Structure 1
């Protein structure tokens, strides 16, 4: 009996050690990252050492680990309950997804996020219902200003992305800042979307333009 317990413990540590670490530490790091301003005013030294450095780093690490968990249910549990992503029912987020600023991401009912997606929600991403993001889709809400001496992200170079209901985005497409994709629109594979797309239109190309 003791050998069985020992073997089971070793099995859990080998195959579920990341889940156990995230289960213990993710709530702390996620809370500290979201409340860094409070920590900064009341406990500046703790903020400097933990919130500014380690908590942000650990949250990025845990999000990366979460994206590579094989179980969809476990991934969704951490995304919704720990990292506070607004996820409605019947949402599927495939493995390999990279999420930045999870609290700024909202995904509507029945939507699908394909493999290896990048969702940069630092300026906010809102995805409607029954949206299909194919594999390797990237959504960026911040851009560096190439005219700035430090290549900084100036206010004119960031903005939210909104994807309306029943949109289909083809694989390897890139959606840039301040873009709204209208209901029922289709983005062809490998496109770079830099402007708003009207509802029920097909767009494609680099940069994307109306195809029909």
Structure 2
């Protein structure tokens, strides 16, 4: 029996609507937390790449280097072959980020693909995909 079916069977309706989203989203959030606070600080390109490919499910090309202390959040990220993301970069992938071949992203770059609408009374999040084409260099501390 699935977790969803067990919750539906044994819990009152008002608890279900609060508990079920937590149980569904918590494992994914924990994977990001574990990467950003532990795996990203280990000096191993291979370990970081394998974790993002196999555990998180990102598409990462051959020969790609992900340096230490990068911070990634969001579900929609892909990077092609022979690209580099340097140390202390922040990648907000909620709206989606696609990076092409032979791209060099310098240290402390922020790539943000989602924001809030300040004029919306409900302050909803909206985002658009950020696409960085082939053979691009993004300078240090760019936003």
Q: Residues 150 and 48 of structure 1: is their aligned pair in 2 closer, same or farther, counting only changes over 3 Å?
A: closer
User: Per residue, is there more strand in 1 or in 2?
Assistant: 2
Q: Residues 39 and 173 of structure 1: is their aligned pair in 2 closer, same or farther, counting only changes over 3 Å?
A: farther
Measured in 2, the distance between the counterparts of 1:137 and 1:74 equals 22
User: Per residue, is there more helix in 1 or in 2?
Assistant: 1
Whose relative contact order is higher, 1 or 2, with alpha carbons under 8 Å and at least 6 apart?
2
The aligned length equals 132
Q: Residues 48 and 159 of structure 1: is their aligned pair in 2 closer, same or farther, counting only changes over 3 Å?
A: closer
1:169 equivalent to 2:138? Answer yes
Q: CA RMSD in A?
A: 2.2
> Secondary structure at 2:49's aligned position in 1?
helix
Q: Residues 117 and 40 of structure 1: is their aligned pair in 2 closer, same or farther, counting only changes over 3 Å?
A: farther
TM normalised by structure 1 equals: 0.56
For 1:57, the equivalent position in structure 2 comes to 29
TM normalised by structure 2 equals: 0.81
| Shift of residue 39, structure 1, vs aligned partner | 6.2
Query: Which of the residues 24, 44, 47 maps onto 1:71?
Result: 44
For 2:123, the equivalent position in structure 1 comes to 151
Instruction: Could you tell me which runs of 5 or more consecutive residues in structure 2 were left unpaired when the two chains were aligned.
Output: 9-15
Measured in 2, the distance between the counterparts of 1:74 and 1:42 equals 36
Query: Which of the residues 142, 160, 167 maps onto 2:129?
Result: 160
| Shift of residue 63, structure 1, vs aligned partner | 2.1
Instruction: Could you tell me which runs of 5 or more consecutive residues in structure 1 were left unpaired when the two chains were aligned.
Output: 1-37, 175-212
